[in-house]
Each structure stands twice: as C-alpha cells, then as structure tokens.
Structure 1
Amino acid sequence: MEEITPMMRTEIEKYLKQNGITLTEFSHIINLNVGTLSSIVTGNRSLSVNQLDRITAGMELPPDYFYERYIEECIIESPSLHWRKISPFLYRCAELGRLDCIQRVMSLLLDTSMYIPLLFEMAEDLFQKGEYQEAATCLYENVAESERKQHSERLALCQYRLFSLRIGKDQAQNLQTAAKFEPFVDRLDEIDQLDALKDLANVYRSLSMWDKVYKFSRQMYKLGQIQYDLVHNSKREIQLGKKLSRPLFVYIAYAELMCANACDAKGDHEQAKEHLRGSADLSWVKESDPDTLHWIKKFQHWAKINTYVNRLMSGDISVLPDYVKHMAGEQHIFNELLNVIEAANQYNLDVDHILQQFEPQITAHQESSSVDKHSQQFLRQQSARFSYKLAKYSLNKGRYSYGFKCLLNALEKSATINNVLLTSNCSGLFDRFKAHAAPETLDQYEKLSQEVWKRNDKKDSFNLNSN
C-alpha cells in the first residue's frame, strides 16, 4: 500500500502542537505576519517559496524539505500556473541544486508555448551569472527539446550554450559535443556566429583536428569581413545588434592566425606564411582606440612567434637560437617548448641544453591549475602531449629509464582526458621500444593499460555524423 504523505499545513500544525508553540509565537520566530501565517495554515492563502523557506527554517528542517510537496500542492493543484510564483521557486531550486524539482516543473510548463521564452530567459540569466550551471543546462536542454522541430534562433542559441557548458576535460566527449553543435552554427545571428565559430575552432584545435580548425576559421574570417564592411563601409551608419566579446577586427585576424596554425600542423608551411602575413598586417583596421591598439600589438607579437615556428617546422634549424632567445623573455613558454621538442623529434636535433634551461618552467606548468574550464582543458592537453613528445625524444636518444617514465606519465594523462589518438600513440611508442623496458616498467605499463581499458570499456560508444 502506497504511503500517503501528509500535506505541508498538516505538518506545520503538528510541529506547533508538539512543541507547544502558538501561531503568534511562531510568526515572530519566522518574521511573518500572524494573519498571513494563519491563512496559510488553514489553506485560505497561497504560499510563496519565500514564505515556505521561512517556515521551513523556523521548523529547523533542511531548506528544500517541502519542495516536492510544494510542487504538488501549490503548483500542480493551483487553478492556474502563475510565472510570478513559479519563477522564484525555480531560482531557489537552482540555488539548492534541486534539478529534479526543476525538471518536474518544466514538464508541466513546456506544453504551453508562452512559458518557453520565459524559461529560456531564466536559463540565460543563470548562464550569464556563471552560477548554477547545472540548472542552466537543465533549462536549456528542456527548451531545446521543446523546439527540436523548429528552425528557430532560440533553439540554435540553446545548443550553443549547451556546447559551451559541456566542454570539459574528456576529449572524446568534447568531440561528440562539438559535432552535435556544428549543424546549429548557421542558425545563430551573425554576432553569435562569430563567437561560436571561434569556440568551435578552439575545441577542434585542442583535438588536433586541423581540417576542422581551418574550415571554421575560414568561415569566421569571411563572416568577420562581411560584418566589418557593413559597419565601416555602408552608406548609412550600422550598429551591431549585440556586443561581441572582442573588437570585430580581432575575429578576422584571429581566423588568419588559426588558419596558419592549421596549415603548419598539416605541413603546408607556404600557405601558413600567407595566413601569418594576414594576421600581422592590420593596416586596414580603421579604429584607433586603446583597446584596438592593444590587440594590434598582440597580433604583431603572435605573428613574430609563429613565424619562428613556421620556419622551424619547415626545417630551417638556423632559427632555433633566435626562437630560444625570444622564449627566455616570455612568461608562458610551453607552446614554444612543445614546438622545440617536436622539431627535435622530426629533424633529430639535440635540444638537451634548451630543456635544461627551461626546466623550472616545465615543472611549474606540469603543476599549474586554472579555474577557467577551457584553460584547464588546454593545459591538460598540452601536458599530455609534452610528456609524450619528451618520451619519444628520450627513448630515441637511448635514455630508456627516463623515456619510459615520461611515456607512462603521458599514457595516464591522455587516458584521463580520454584522448584516444594520444593514448594509441603512447601504446605504439611503447611497443616500439618494449625490448628496452625493465621488468618493473613492463608491469607498470600492463597495469596502466588494464586501467585504461576498464575505464573506456565502461563508456558507451557513440556514432558521429560527419558534416
């Protein structure tokens, strides 16, 4: 037989009777008008979530103790659904992490179209505040599901927000998330598209999917040019409908820089040079405010660094001393170190002196952390790649003990971020030098491989549609 849960007002009455407290005394305790409290207890007045929280606190119960019953008694059984009453309750559920209650209420609202924009605005508010992201995700998912058959901008924006919220340390999950978002990019308005294309290109860059990086960077470049031309060369003054996260010209220059990175990574160094020139030559930029000048200086600096990289990766080893000299003056040098050791592996260079010179920075990077989710993702990826490349460099030089130590470290890190390609590369490199591994190293590798297999075996496989 199903247990019948007593109504809220019954529990309140029971509490007062058991503790010998009068309504007047309790109203003073919870700072609520005694007439209002009396009407609530007798069922003659509707109950707001603020009043409920005061009563719950006065009864010394957990703040969300009555929330399921509040949905049943004050929302479902209410003659009409009032947003002014529901909205504060949903915000409170977000604060307390009661996603189950949010889901329950949304299931009541989504059949009525008038609530969809209100729920979307609440999701936007939670997202912009940067708090209660799980609640924002729940809201976006439900709004997106209710509009899945529509080709609306709101649906596309929900998918963009979900893409941003779901990017994390799991690289396989990031790939799935990016692929799911791709079809919605073109449905965003032009301003949101610029940031979405930038974010997509950055995610694919962290996944080393260079064709995708190039594709979305070129789209960003073309869209940025169209918008810049509209703003500056139109016969009538054009104002952008939304505020961009960066000055408009930055998207054009950044697209060129990303294209250069993609071309260098794919071995097309001549094409990379063209894009680098495009990112550095910003004489066409019409603005001259301090923020613009700051960004122009940044791009000129980045172009100089990437020109070194371009020459180094194309086999011009003579640039290495200048590149190292430049690195010594930089605060963040890990990208440069990755390039140096990549060139060392590719062209059989001895870079021991460079690694020794920057050993403190290498250690600091390996131990660093960031509160920013996207920075954390990039740092983990860098750290895993560096350990792998350092292992390859050391093993090729016959330093087997240190090389295997780096390789096991790389395998563990790549498994942690679920980078399937890097995990596979680690296994392949181990097999190549397996004959030089000590018995304890073989045991460590076997145990780690089993852990990686067990971790991945628990994950459901998924299929991706290529776009």
Structure 2
Amino acid sequence: MGGLQGTMHWSLRSEIERHRRECGYTLSKLGELTGINHGSLSEILNGNPPRAMTIGQLDALAAVFGREPGWLYELYTEECISEGRISRPRLIPYLIRCAEVGRKDCIDEVVPKLLENPKNISTLFLVAEQLYESGKQKESVPFYQAVVDSEKDGHSDQFVMSQYRLFRAALGTNSEENGEAVIRFSPYRNRLPENYQLDALFQLARVCFALQKWKKSEQYADELRFLAETIYIHELDRLKRNKKSELPEVERPLVYYYGMGYLFKGAALEMQGLYVQAKPYVQGYADLGWFELLDEAGHQEVERFRVWAKANLYTLEVLSGNANIIEEYADYLESLPTIEILAGLISIMKSANIYCFCVDKVVERFSSHIASFGQFTDAIGLDRHLQFQYQTAIYEFGKGRIEKGIEETLCCLTLADLMSRYEDTLKCVTLFEEYRQYASTTQVEQYKAIVTGRKKADLIF
C-alpha cells in the first residue's frame, strides 16, 4: 500500500484506538457496546492487513464514543477505494450515509475520483436511486446531477431516469423553478419506460396547469390520455389471448391516468373560457365504470372522478351564466373536501364578477372553509387560493366594499409573491394602485413591505 494510503488507513484506526483507550474500554467491552463481534473488531483494528469495516460499524463506534454522526467519514474513503480498486458494497452505503448526515465534503472528494472511470456512473446512479426510493429526494439530487453531467449517452436508461428524478425532486411551490424544471425535463419524457412516462405526463400536465400554461397542459393531457388508452387496449388484448399481464407498475391505477388526461384537458379548456368545448372532456371522466382491469383502488378512483365531474359540470354551467344553479351547486360543494370547495368557489366568484351575480350568502355559508384555505402548501392548492383571493378582491370592489377589497388584494399579492408569480403580482399591484387612495396607513405599509421584499413569504392572513 502507498505511503498516503497507508497513513490514512492507519489514521482511521489510530483515532478509534485513541478513543478506546481514553474511554478505558477493552476490545471485549467495546464489542459488547457496539454489537460488533469481538473477533471481527480485533481483525478490524489489529489485523495485518486489517479487516475492512462497514460504515455501519464506524457509526456504531461513533455512538459509543459519543461522537456526532459522520465522525471520521473523511478517513473512511480508504475502506472503499484502495489502490484504484473500488468496493461497491462499502462505497454505496458510505455515500448514502454521507448524504444523510450532510457530509457533502466527503461526497465532493469521492465523486470526482469515481468519474475518472465512466463505468462508475452506474454506481452513482444506484446511490441516487436508493436515496430517492427511501424518501430522501433532496439528498439524491447531487448524485442524479452527476449522472446527467457525466453520461454521454443521452438515451441511456440511467440518464433519462436521472432527468425524470431531478424533475420530480425540483417541483415545489416556486412557480419559476417549476417552470424551469418542466423545460429541462420535457424533451426526455418519451424516452422513459411506460410506467414512469404515465407519471411524468401527469406531472407535466399538472404543473403546466398550475403555471397557467393552458396549451401546454392540454398537450400533455392529450399525450397522457393516448398513452393510458394504448396501454389499456394492449393489456385487454393480451388477456383475451390468455397471455401474461404486461400492465406496468405505476404509482396509481391505470384508470387514474386515463381520467386525468380528460380532467386536465377539460380544465385547461375551461380556464380559456371554452366552456362548450370543455364539456365533452368532463363527461369523458364522469362515468368510468366501464373501465376493465379495476381493483379496489381503481374503483375508488372511478368514484372520485364521478364526484369531480359532477362538480365541474356545475362549474361550466355557472361560468356560462346560469345563476339559477348556484344554490344547488353550493349544496353539492358542502359534501366535498375543502380543496374541492375552494375550486368550486373560484368558479362561483368568477361568474359573479362576469355576470354581476350577488353571492354574499354563498361566501357567508362557506366562511369557515374560506378561513382554512391558508392550510394549502402544495402548488395546486396555493394556485387555487391565489385565484380565489383575486376573484374575491374584484368582487368586493364591485360591491363597493373598498376596505375589504384592499385586504383581499393584499392577501392575493402575498401569495403571488410567495409563489414567484410575476404576472399575478403585477395584476395585484395594478389592482391595489387603482384603490390606493382609499387604503389605510397600515394597508399601505403592508403593501410596501410586500413589494419591497421585506415581507417575503410572510402570509398576512
């Protein structure tokens, strides 16, 4: 073993030995406390050559010595990479633990060494996948990024999957970041395996809808519907010929993706004011009971789509100017979850503003639900809350309730600022400036704090 390697190899063990002596532990006692077999521990510390230790054993030693997680990780690399040879059984758990305990310095040192040989890209991909699958999306990002930056074959499975994982990990409440994530990932969507492609198209349609990119949301919804239908027809054909199922493993039942293709298409058309064109797509998911291959989860999705379709058909009627159906619509909304009540109230407020309806009784009826809309922290929930606040502000101004209108405008402006929604921010600023002369000193100060960034993401409702 070379001089530097030998020194580092010895340093890891010398540090452990020093702590053992300081604590007054015999090898037998140390083995008892750590759960490491006495013989194995002796070979690890005193063998010639010493036996390699696992990262779990090093963690156990750190815990016994009262040291923080990640103790001596900078010296552990020699257990994984020695004389140009890599031990994947030790390296992969080591990198995963480095990510988990925040030892970015160790990752930054090891990864360039690995990338000296392109074959090791697959090792980084395995590390990323294990982190991602265990729910540690944020921690997986540097490894997926290393794969994307280093893999020369843009069609390789691990390159495309890394692009998809980075897309999913990037999605949050920041609209600008979500939009950039869509741009980076969308060219690779059709290279994914079908099961991931279904999820990818659903996410693309969902995110573009939240970003108010209606045409893009339509496009991805169409692709999603077509892919789900193609898989469905292929699977039915196989079953009729008594062949083994090839239904892909997906996050949701296949009927969910099929229905969502219709739902996002109809919703995007609705948002463009194309209510007549939207209606057939809403009817397309109103009754999916004919869909075969349904398990219990699938039947539950069919029922959810039925509920959504009924609400959205009411929505289209209200937005088309049918005031007579508002009370009936409100009755139905009361049976739905709060997020669906929020969606319904947006339509009611929007129609009230377009057709000069009075919906004060509806607002009062749902006042307790309205007060809870601030609970939503996901992109769709925040987007709907923003839309509701904006429509409510316009409604209050229209009814001559200026102070209340300004309050609603400030709430809407805060949400737009939180989400980095610049177009919506401009709309709110324009609305506030129109009524600024009627604002109280406190309201003007709140407004200044938001637009100057002093009240960034500090919700005032």
Tell me the TM-score range normalised by the shorter chain. Answer: 0.7 to 0.9
Further displaced range: 248-257 or 416-425: 248-257
Pairing 1:443–2:445 present = yes
Residue 379 of structure 1 aligns to a residue whose secondary structure is: helix
**Aligned-partner residue type, residue 248 of structure 1:** L
- Alignment match, 2:397: 395
Q: Which of 122, 141, 161 is matched with 1:117 structurally?
A: 122
- Partner deviation per Cα, 1:372-425 (whole Å, 9 max, x = no partner): xxx623222222222222122112222121111121121112111212221111
Pairing 1:343–2:320 present = no
Further displaced range: 295-304 or 15-24: 15-24
Q: Which of 217, 222, 225 is matched with 1:221 structurally?
A: 225
- Partner deviation per Cα, 1:313-346 (whole Å, 9 max, x = no partner): 1222222122112123323211111111111122
Q: Which of 432, 435, 439 is matched with 1:433 structurally?
A: 435
- Alignment match, 2:3: none
Once the two structures are superposed, the pairs formed by residues 59-458 of structure 1 within 5 Å of their partners are 59-71=65-77, 73-78=78-83, 80-130=85-135, 132-233=136-237, 236=241, 237=243, 239-240=245-246, 242-282=248-288, 284-287=290-293, 289-332=295-338, 333-366=341-374, 368=375, 376-451=378-453
Query: Do 1:415 and 1:452's aligned partners in 2 also have CA atoms closer than 8 Å?
Result: no
Q: Closer, same or farther in 2 for the Cα pair 1:232/1:398, shift >3 Å?
A: same
Query: Do 2:153 and 2:159's aligned partners in 1 also have CA atoms closer than 8 Å?
Result: no
In the alignment, the residues of structure 2 paired with residue 110 and residue 357 of structure 1 have an alpha-carbon distance, to the nearest angstrom, of: 62
- Alignment match, 1:462: none
The offset of 1:195, in angstroms, is: 1.2
Query: Which segments of 5 or more consecutive residues in structure 2 lack a partner in the other structure?
Result: 1-6
**Aligned-partner residue type, residue 137 of structure 2:** Q
**Aligned-partner residue type, residue 178 of structure 2:** N
Q: Superposition RMSD on alpha carbons, in Å?
A: 2.7
Query: Higher relative contact order by CA 8 Å / sep ≥ 6: 1 or 2?
Result: 1
The offset of 1:220, in angstroms, is: 0.8
Residue 372 of structure 2 aligns to a residue whose secondary structure is: helix
Residue 85 of structure 2 aligns to a residue whose secondary structure is: coil
**Aligned-partner residue type, residue 413 of structure 1:** L
In the alignment, the residues of structure 2 paired with residue 26 and residue 199 of structure 1 have an alpha-carbon distance, to the nearest angstrom, of: 51
**Structure-2-length-normalised TM-score:** 0.88
Identical positions, percent: 29
In the alignment, the residues of structure 1 paired with residue 69 and residue 302 of structure 2 have an alpha-carbon distance, to the nearest angstrom, of: 52
In the alignment, the residues of structure 2 paired with residue 268 and residue 452 of structure 1 have an alpha-carbon distance, to the nearest angstrom, of: 40
The offset of 1:41, in angstroms, is: 3.7
- Partner deviation per Cα, 1:31-57 (whole Å, 9 max, x = no partner): 445554444445621332233223333
Residue 321 of structure 2 aligns to a residue whose secondary structure is: coil
**Aligned-partner residue type, residue 140 of structure 1:** Y
Q: Closer, same or farther in 2 for the Cα pair 1:67/1:403, shift >3 Å?
A: same
The offset of 1:144, in angstroms, is: 2.1
**Aligned-partner residue type, residue 428 of structure 2:** C
**Structure-1-length-normalised TM-score:** 0.86
Further displaced range: 429-438 or 222-231: 429-438
**Aligned-partner residue type, residue 199 of structure 1:** Q
In the alignment, the residues of structure 2 paired with residue 322 and residue 30 of structure 1 have an alpha-carbon distance, to the nearest angstrom, of: 67
In the alignment, the residues of structure 1 paired with residue 14 and residue 150 of structure 2 have an alpha-carbon distance, to the nearest angstrom, of: 37
**Aligned-partner residue type, residue 426 of structure 2:** S
Further displaced range: 283-292 or 307-316: 283-292
The offset of 1:454, in angstroms, is: 8.5
Q: Closer, same or farther in 2 for the Cα pair 1:28/1:316, shift >3 Å?
A: closer
In the alignment, the residues of structure 2 paired with residue 288 and residue 161 of structure 1 have an alpha-carbon distance, to the nearest angstrom, of: 28
In the alignment, the residues of structure 2 paired with residue 439 and residue 49 of structure 1 have an alpha-carbon distance, to the nearest angstrom, of: 61
Query: Do 2:54 and 2:90's aligned partners in 1 also have CA atoms closer than 8 Å?
Result: yes
Query: Do 1:388 and 1:410's aligned partners in 2 also have CA atoms closer than 8 Å?
Result: yes
Alignment: residue pair count: 444
The offset of 1:15, in angstroms, is: 3.5
**Aligned-partner residue type, residue 62 of structure 1:** E
Q: Closer, same or farther in 2 for the Cα pair 1:248/1:28, shift >3 Å?
A: closer
In the alignment, the residues of structure 1 paired with residue 58 and residue 346 of structure 2 have an alpha-carbon distance, to the nearest angstrom, of: 57
